[in-house]
Chain A
């Protein structure tokens, strides 16, 4: 590996900053969605059906692209600066993919956390955590963990996220 090339490992402070950034952006996106994306005074998720799965048009057209851009920033940097060898690029790509999956879960969960703990006055489902009828829970089913409904799509994404981060932690730097 060249000396000026960033080392992509979770032990690397740049990678930690990257993960923190993705977490922050997804939490901010979830809050902005809950606070500002409304239809006739209702939070949008309570006023319309999603376009695909649990995602609305603004997820597909704005939130996911923005989160994706930030999550894949290391890859974009590497490709544009043509720094990495293909082996490293694959590793960075995996790391970015893990970030994106984590962000999707966090963005969705933030929306429901706000509804549960800091709801809008106009929200008819204020103070409710995810319910069986919410699209996030009904699209691929849900599980009840410690009394709280957890959408199964969260649990589908958790293993690859853990595997990617774990691989990056356990694999020694070249």
Chain B
């Protein structure tokens, strides 16, 4: 028989078992009221209008750069858009969009003024770039005026924080009526000539309208001081017209990172084997590696100088030290990009001439010839480094459609050129290629502190635009090594930067584009986003900053990785994937009843088993 002390012991254990989970669970849940939080103001129901941008063009696109640049901007921002002809943009059609960008240079003369008015009155924002029919100008709070002699002296646009040059291009004189002037055309004598950019909102409920009195979509990357100033202004205008709307975008980088920082070591060839260069290269690599940053090396695998009969491949004994350094780059997570096979043609030496274009004869190599040379270079790199290159940088950035076709056929995934855009770029390339744009220039010989400061200012601008920060460094002298290190150090002071290589970014962009190409947004009680497939986790859907996501379902299943105003997505396997975002209520604690039942059962069974075991033991002991 159990003794008195045994009974007291059982009671204590039973008490512990009882109070441990169940009492806390039930009692505190009662105290808390409910696990399900609701917003005080109840669920918001958004208008059923799809979150799309209309890009309106006329019939006479003299050249398609403005349209391409707008498309690149929108694709980089991850916004859904349609290119609509002016005559098709009717009042009924305008209801499908929550903002519009009009490419004025394409002469959209058939555009209905009523449709534009309806659009703005409905709260949608508009950006109009260049030439505007005079009857529409009052909608933008401006008046078109004839060009005067003073307009001939304009040499730049003053935006206050920076200026951007005016090149040999058309400008469109206006006078502000009620519009706010954001930037001024300036003349040689530093006088304001006329407004270059205006913004206007006619009523509190109407949308903001922007007018650019110059081609804000061209001459990107040409201004040496602020190469992306025009793209920056255009992007700021886009952000402003979208503010106040429930915009849903697909972020350009994984995990909601703001930008990517990439350093290319440029024009490396088998003759980069001097003690000084190799020491700098190791020092640079170590500096980067210790800060979790990666290098991308543009490599020309064969060096040729016919004038002295020199033909050295990566396999040469002289290249041993270079091969070892390249292996270290790869092992530290960096990558190698093919920078041509020989980076020269005919009797020229490596590095001084392009490879696929004969500058004297003005002739391109044929598709097969280009393919042969690219393939020879890739094979040489693979046989010497055991690495299959996925990226290509055409010597002197000179590439034509055949180059892209050759690269696509050979399985390359990207190029890395300066294509006058800081944005994700796939337009005009062959199927399966993207461009990782060079956006920050390079560190030339005898660089000064001023150059470093200019590059830092441009890092700021690219960072604010969420554009790739990519510069190249030849490492020809210690000064370039130092500036390169300072640029990385400067970038490290900024949050949410992806320190990656060109391969990783290209691969991510491919996956993002797969998802983006099928992107559709429906706004209702919840936000329903449809995306194509992606093999990468980390794609990010972003809502306006003031929104707070409460619950997410991916393809019908609850998804946990969201915070504030963004959702980080898993691998999406379906052809069309549904992402349901709720802003109004948390995921209900639906499985709680089953869980609670199991807690009760588990507690009861544990008590029973405990009592049975201890009493059996005592019976055995008593009988024994």
Residues of A within 8 A of B (CB): 39-42, 45-49, 122, 124-125, 128, 131-135, 138-146, 152-153, 155-160, 162-163, 166-167, 170-172
Q: How far is the CB of B421 from chain A (nearest CB, A)?
A: 26
Contact A159 to B17, CB < 8 A, known contacts A48-B537, A132-B589, A140-B595 = yes
Which residues of B553-569 are within 8 A (CB) of A?
557-563, 568
CB of A163 within 8 A of CB of B606, answer: yes
For A172, list chain B residues within 8 Å (CB).
Answer: 621
In whole angstroms, what is the CA distance A41 to B17 when docked?
Answer: 42
Which residues of B529-584 are within 8 A (CB) of A?
536-538, 551-552, 557-563, 568, 570-571
CB of B557 within 8 A of CB of A157, answer: no
In addition to A155-B602, A171-B617, 4 A-B residue pairs with Cβ atoms within 8 Å of each other are A42-B537, A47-B538, A153-B595, A156-B21
Contact A124 to B20, CB < 8 A, known contacts A40-B254, A141-B593 = no
For B598, list chain A residues within 8 Å (CB).
Answer: 140, 152-153, 156
CB of A41 within 8 A of CB of B538, answer: yes
In whole angstroms, what is the CA distance A10 to B163 when docked?
Answer: 77
* Prevailing SS type, chain A contact patch: mixed
* Prevailing SS type, chain B contact patch: helix
Kindly identify which residue among A39, A159, A160, A166 contacts B537, using a CB–CB cutoff of 8 Å.
Answer: A39
Kindly identify which residue among A45, A48, A141, A159 contacts B595, using a CB–CB cutoff of 8 Å.
Answer: A141
Contact A133 to B589, CB < 8 A, known contacts A124-B563, A144-B28, A158-B20 = no
CB of A155 within 8 A of CB of B560, answer: no
Kindly identify which residue among B25, B35, B596 contacts A132, using a CB–CB cutoff of 8 Å.
Answer: B35
Contact A162 to B606, CB < 8 A, known contacts A40-B536, A132-B589, A156-B598 = yes
Contact A142 to B592, CB < 8 A, known contacts A40-B537, A124-B255 = yes
Contact A170 to B589, CB < 8 A, known contacts A46-B568, A141-B594, A152-B596 = no
* B 237-257 to A, binary, CB cutoff 8 A, 1 in contact else 0: 000000000000000001110
CB of A46 within 8 A of CB of B561, answer: yes
Kindly identify which residue among A39, A48, A163 contacts B610, using a CB–CB cutoff of 8 Å.
Answer: A163
Contact A47 to B589, CB < 8 A, known contacts A40-B536, A124-B256 = no
Nearest A residue to B555 via CB reads A49
* B 595-624 to A, binary, CB cutoff 8 A, 1 in contact else 0: 110110011011101100110010001000
CB of A156 within 8 A of CB of B599, answer: yes
Nearest A residue to B35 via CB reads A144
CB of B563 within 8 A of CB of A146, answer: no
For A39, list chain B residues within 8 Å (CB).
Answer: 537, 571
For A132, list chain B residues within 8 Å (CB).
Answer: 35, 586-587, 589
CB of B254 within 8 A of CB of A162, answer: no
Contact A47 to B571, CB < 8 A, known contacts A42-B537, A144-B35, A152-B599 = yes
Nearest A residue to B564 via CB reads A124
Nearest B residue to A161 via CB reads B606
CB of A157 within 8 A of CB of B559, answer: no
CB of B17 within 8 A of CB of A163, answer: yes
Q: Is B9 an interface residue (CB 8 A)?
A: yes
Contact A133 to B558, CB < 8 A, known contacts A47-B538, A48-B537, A159-B21 = yes
